[in-house]
């Protein structure tokens, strides 16, 4: 099975040569002391933990799965012990607030840690990941008492968290939820209802589990405007803030899933469980979006992590597997056949994997750097601009990178041939684990509607124009650079096409609102391909500069430029198909009355 090795060289290329994060950190007072030595030491910890503790548990965790018995969940062998080491190493506290026991480091550094965790063992990574968003909700909108009581133990990892949003009849339409909250005389609330698909709702790691629950008050308005948010601990707290008596919240069952078998996905039952209102009544949906935006960026990162795992497995196998001779002449005469990596069809799959994994890494790390600005910049306008850009790009990153993650995982299986279909090689697990990422935290279709309907047409394209203007600024800056023409010329054409498509959809939608839904998914794919093209052009430029200046690693930088060329020549033309589908409109979809 694939043996995960953290791609530290490429991670450092993105952080230090493409994004130049140290320069950004120096301009943000909260992160000014985060120098290269600190970053390297943190990443070294993450490498050792992911490679030595998590990766060896990946397949065994999938084979064993979680076990549910009498309301209790037992995680696979080794998972609990790995979590204890994670807590001991304080890896979960990297970017959490200092005042609550965290290290206050940049989000862009924590994202690198998270990529390693997701790549090494995606099921295990589900357990600690929710806590980061819950901490942010409690710090931002919880009371001082709630933050004081819950956050330090969540930061330390002594306690974990879950978010309880989905109900069986509602799915993504949270306006339909039925869970109810009734006020108690002591200021608490009794929460009653059932939630499904709750990651880490129950486990055997020990400590308290802090559930964030959406529910309705008796006088709440109908729909999404009548949702409140509550904190409901598994164990109520004693007078000292420790765990007291068990609350009336329980796990009714766990899901038997296609993938992520080592992660507990729970049905949670709330039977007049004691909960406490977060913030104001009927404002829960707004609070939830803080958590969801963080979760969607994390899901985009899961897409990248799966790409990296599949690429590593496929590349290693393609170098060793012998089959036939190269059409252009024998490459390894001392062996009975050539390794399959010499064949163009196999190289096409491997380069597609590489192009999406490395391009996706650049996109997600960049978004994390924007998150650093939103949190730490003293410039109000800079924070506002970064936040708007994140809002526009998050649905693109979440949906596009998880969909491409499926393509990359499929290629990984295909490179192995029949062996890829066999469990012992580990490639089919990557695909099974990757499949859910296009579903949870909002399906690809939901993300597409959010992008086109809300983020683009909803503000007359203002945020999109800001982003495409940035792309054009880069292109114009290198318009006279002969080495960059193969990248900037098609980018300018595609930005122009992006603007045309947006205006065309907007015009058609004034007469038929279904035009937005008909175009949305292809529009998102188009946006994703163009966005990654911008990053590949930027990476090509960074590599060219290194080669001109002289470097001890010419092979690394030449491969960057060559992968960029592959992306532009072999992948970017897909945008033409999406343009044609968008232009075909909604009629052919809606005219069939009897599907």
Pairing mode, strands 265-277 and 235-237: unpaired
Contacts of the segment 582-588: beta carbons below 8 A, 24+ positions apart: 582/501, 582/504, 582/505, 582/519, 582/522, 582/523, 582/526, 583/501, 583/504, 585/508, 585/515, 585/518, 585/519, 586/508, 586/512, 586/514, 586/515, 586/517, 586/518, 586/519
Largest CA distance in the chain: 84
DSSP structure class, residue 322: B
Tell me the DSSP string of 257-316: -SS-TTS-EEEEEEEEEEEEE-SSTT-HHHHHHHHHHHHHHHHHHHHHHHHHHHHHHHHH
Cβ burial of 240 (10 Å; 0-12, 13-18, 19+) is: exposed
Of the candidates 437, 543, 440, 444, which has an alpha carbon nearest to the alpha carbon of residue 484? 543
Judge whether 464 and 456 are in contact, CB under 8 Å.
yes
Report the distance separating Cα 181 and Cα 137, nearest Å. Answer: 19
441 is catalytic: yes
Residue spans of alpha helices (H) in 478-513: 485-509
Which structure tokens are listed for 580?
């044609």
The three-state DSSP-derived secondary structure of 37-102 is HHHHHHHHHHHHHHHHHHHHHHHHHHHHCCEEECCEEECCCCHHHHHHHHHHCCHHHCCCCHHHCC
Of the residues 182, 441, 515, 545, only one is catalytic, namely: 441
- Measured CA to CA, the distance from residue 141 to residue 277 in angstroms comes to 10
What are the backbone angles phi and psi of residue 136, rounded to the nearest 5°? -65, -40
Catalytic residues: 441
């Amino acid at each position: 099975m694939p043996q995960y090795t953290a791609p530290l060289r490429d991670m450092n290329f993105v952080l230090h040569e493409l994004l130049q994060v140290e320069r950004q950190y120096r301009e943000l007072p909260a992160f000014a002391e985060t120098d290269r030595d600190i970053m390297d030491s943190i990443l070294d910890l993450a490498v050792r933990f992911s490679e030595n503790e998590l990766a060896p548990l990946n397949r065994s965790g999938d084979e064993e799965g979680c076990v549910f018995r009498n309301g209790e969940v037992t995680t696979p062998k080794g998972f609990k012990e790995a979590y204890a080491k994670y807590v001991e190493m304080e890896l979960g506290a990297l970017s959490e607030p200092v005042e609550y026991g965290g290290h206050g480091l940049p989000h862009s550094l924590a994202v690198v840690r998270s990529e390693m965790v997701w790549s090494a063992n995606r099921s295990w990574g589900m357990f600690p990941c929710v806590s980061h968003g819950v901490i942010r909700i409690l710090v931002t909108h919880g009371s001082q008492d709630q933050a004081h009581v819950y956050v330090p133990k969540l930061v330390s990892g002594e306690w974990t968290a879950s978010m309880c949003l989905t109900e069986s009849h509602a799915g993504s339409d949270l306006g339909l939820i039925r869970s109810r909250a009734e006020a108690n005389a002591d200021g608490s609330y009794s929460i009653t209802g059932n939630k499904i698909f709750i990651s880490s709702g129950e486990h055997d790691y020990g400590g308290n589990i802090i559930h964030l629950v959406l529910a309705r008050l008796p006088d709440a308005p109908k729909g999404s405007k009548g949702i409140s948010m509550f904190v409901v601990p598994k164990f109520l707290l004693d007078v000292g803030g420790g765990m007291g008596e068990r609350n009336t919240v329980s796990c009714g069952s766990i899901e038997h899933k296609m993938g992520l078998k080592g992660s507990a996905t729970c049905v949670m039952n709330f039977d007049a469980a004691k909960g406490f209102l977060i913030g104001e009544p009927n404002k829960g949906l707004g609070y939830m979006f803080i958590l969801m935006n963080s979760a969607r960026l994390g899901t985009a990162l899961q897409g990248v992590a799966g790409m990296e795992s599949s690429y590593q497995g496929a590349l290693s196998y393609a170098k060793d597997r012998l089959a036939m001779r190269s059409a252009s002449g024998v490459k390894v005469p001392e062996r009975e056949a050539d390794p399959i990596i010499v064949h163009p069809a196999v190289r096409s799959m491997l380069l597609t994997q590489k192009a999406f994994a490395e391009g996706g890494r650049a996109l997600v790390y960049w978004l994390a750097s924007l998150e650093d600005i939103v949190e730490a910049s003293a410039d109000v306008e800079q924070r506002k601009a970064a936040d708007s850009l994140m809002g526009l790009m998050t649905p693109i990153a979440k949906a596009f990178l998880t969909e491409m993650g499926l393509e990359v995982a499929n290629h990984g299986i295909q490179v192995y041939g029949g062996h890829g279909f066999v469990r012992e090689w580990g490639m089919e697990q990557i695909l099974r684990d990757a499949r859910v990422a296009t579903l949870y935290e909002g399906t690809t279709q939901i993300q597409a509607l959010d992008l086109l309907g809300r983020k683009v047409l909803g503000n007359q394209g203002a945020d999109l124009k800001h982003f495409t203007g940035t792309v054009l600024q880069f292109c114009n800056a290198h318009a006279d650079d002969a080495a960059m023409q193969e990248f900037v010329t098609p980018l300018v054409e595609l930005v122009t096409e992006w603007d045309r498509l947006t205006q065309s959809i907007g015009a058609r939608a004034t007469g038929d609102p279904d035009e937005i839904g008909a175009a949305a998914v292809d529009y998102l794919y188009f946006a994703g391909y163009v966005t990654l093209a911008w990053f590949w052009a930027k990476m090509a430029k960074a590599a060219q500069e290194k080669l001109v200046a002289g470097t001890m690693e010419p092979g690394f930088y030449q491969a960057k430029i060559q992968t960029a060329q592959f992306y532009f020549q072999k992948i970017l033309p897909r945008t033409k198909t999406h343009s044609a589908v968008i232009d075909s409109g909604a009629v052919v979809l809606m005219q069939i009355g009897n599907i």
